[in-house]
Amino acid sequence: MASPVEDLLRQLESGEMQLPDDPAFKEDYPLLWEFMTRQWWEPDRGRAPGSLSLKLSSGCWQITVTDPQGRASKTTTAQRVTEILLSAECVLADASVPWRSFKKPALTRKPKTGTNG
């Protein structure tokens, strides 16, 4: 069974993934645009694009940028939703903000039912 990253890379390589036509976003947030849409590191090496997750946390907006291939994320907060994309853009540009790695979820086995034999 292929992993979600492998499925995404297959979509990219086959041309199944289409990019949005959003020149304003691309111009206003160039690092986020590249992070979210870049599909290749080199002509022969695919890249799984990043993702964003937005939620409310302790009275602030919180956004997490996730690199599925690097298995890491960065999180930042802002008081207004209109500021959160700029905050995410800044956190991507700031090398002093560390990427937090995450582990692959542990595989769990389903309990056996019935008897053999």
Interatomic CA distance for residues 59 and 51, integer angstroms: 23
Interatomic CA distance for residues 100 and 34, integer angstroms: 20
- pTM higher than 0.85: no
106 contacts: CB under 8 Å, gap ≥ 6: none
pLDDT tens per residue across span 43-82: 677 778 899 999 999 999 999 999 988 899 999 999 998 8
Q: Is 54 within 8 Å of 77 (Cβ atoms)?
A: no
Domain spans of the chain, in order of start: 19-40+47-101
- Bridge partner residues of 54 (DSSP): 63
Question: What is the amino acid identity at position 91?
Answer: V
pLDDT band at 84 (very low <50, low <70, confident <90, very high): very high
Question: What is the amino acid identity at position 13?
Answer: E
